[in-house]
Structures are given as structure tokens and as C-alpha cells.
A = this chain, B = another copy of it.
Amino acid sequence: MRPEDLPEIRHLHLFRDMSQANFETLMSSSYAQNFPPGLDMVRQGDPSDFLHIVLEGAVELYAKWADRECTMAVVRPVSTFILAACIRDAPYLMSARTLERTRIVLVPASDLRAMFRRDTEFSVAIINELAAGYRSVVRSAKSLKLRTSRERVASFLLTQSMLAGGTSSYTLPVEKRLLASYLGMTPENLSRTLRLLEADGVKVDGARVIITDRAKLTALAKPDKLIDASETAIDQTGSSLPRALE
């Protein structure tokens, strides 16, 4: 692991409050690894040996069943994934593949499990992280069950605009192919939906999104703080990275 990796990791809510000694112990058994784009790092069903920390690049979490697959999330730096599986020492529920060249730190799950019994601050951080993740998935399930695909697209575009600082113009954080799968629809259907949404106050040209009539789009998307808000606590610095598709 590179020395400059450590402060990045230490800055995460998950590791911020634990003792320095314990943090160093945990990191001493961890190691960084670089992956090329398009590589499968984790296969669903495999035993959860490592907590993954994304330092650079981007990782797609996806699920398979029968001969179908769908994108569940895209993880960007700096954040962790598959914490719950590691905690429970249970098989991964999702697979993970790199979208770009990606730098990952692997923390042995066994060390993680041993550590949270010894460091109260760490266990509190884990509790908060899991509760936040839990609630995030509940939000996502609510969106899937209560909204039509058109409404999901509209609220996604609106939410992204907020994450980008409320600007009415921004670029999509991921390929449309991925976005479609994340939103639970086919690429064709997303393409058509985006076209139709031009009548509802938003225009998407390539990866460029321009909100032309925020009121109209809001009326359609009906943003709801119990669905669309983020669970991640805002950074004191105010620099909460807009974690795309979390």
C-alpha cells in the first residue's frame, strides 16, 4: 500500500473514529491492488474474505439470476463496499466488476470482525454505516415499487442535479446502459423515455443533461426526502463527494 493511501482511508466515517493503533493494525494486514477495466473482482456467492475500499476508478456492483443481470450500484472513490457480507461472514450477494482502471484496498474480513469487538468507536461507526446502507436500499426498493420507470428517470435526473450543486446542467455520471439497468429498465426504454422527457423540462444530449424547466420536471418526479435523499452524513468540510448511483 502506498503511504498516501492511508489518510484517504482514515478519512472515511468508517475508520475516522477508531484508535490510531487499531487502525494501523487493520491496515497492516491489508493490501492495495490495481485492476484493469472490465475485470470481475468479486463473484456473487463467493465467501466474503475482504472488505473492499475503492481508492481510484469505479466499480459496478451487479446481481445475476437465471440468465439475467442487473446493476445494483456504482461505487466511486473513496468508499467501501460489501461491508454487510464481511460482518456476517456470509457469501457476497452481488458481484463486482471494474468500470475503469481501479485501485482497491482489501481488508481481511476476519481482522475486521475481530477488530470491532475490541474498538467501541469502530463498532459504532460500523453500526452507522450499516444502518445507512440498510436505509439506502429501502429507499431504492421504494422507488422501484412505487414509481414507474419514467418517474424513476425523472427523479434520478433531478437528484443528480442537486448532487451537482443544484445546477441545471451537468453530465451523467455513468453510461446510459448502466443507468438503465440501475433504474430497472432496458437501454431501449431509457433512450425512449429520455426523449419523451423533453416535454417535461429536461433534455439529455449524449451525457449532457440540461434541465430546461425545473418546475415541470419536479412536478413529474415528485422528489421525496424519504426516497431521494442520501443517507450519508454531510462532511464537515462540505465536500461530500457526490457518490453516483449509491
Contacts and interface: CB of A to CB of B under 8 A. Distances in A.
Interface of A: 44-45, 63-66, 68-70, 72, 83-85, 87-88, 90-91, 93-94, 116-117, 120, 123-124, 126-128, 130-135, 137-142, 144-147, 184, 222, 224-227, 231
A127 B128 contact: no
A105 to B, nearest CB: 21
16 contacts: A44-B226, A66-B146, A70-B142, A70-B145, A72-B141, A72-B145, A84-B134, A84-B138, A88-B132, A88-B231, A93-B139, A126-B127, A130-B130, A130-B134, A134-B134, A144-B144
Contact of A128 (B64, B68, B85, B88): B88
A142 B88 contact: no
A141 B142 contact: no
A184 B147 CA distance: 11
A132 B134 CA distance: 9
A63 B131 contact: no
A133 to B, nearest CB: 5
Contacts of A87: 127-128, 131
Contacts of A123: 120, 123-124, 127
Nearest to A85: B135
Contacts of A44: 226
A64 B66 CA distance: 31
- The 3 A-B pairs with the shortest beta carbon distances in the complex, nearest first, are A130-B130, A65-B146, A84-B131
A15 to B, nearest CB: 16
* Residue among A65, A134, A141 having the largest count of chain B Cβ atoms under 10 Å: A134
A115 to B, nearest CB: 12
A131 B142 CA distance: 19
A211 to B, nearest CB: 21
Given A131-B88, A135-B93, A142 B65 contact: yes
B116 A124 contact: yes
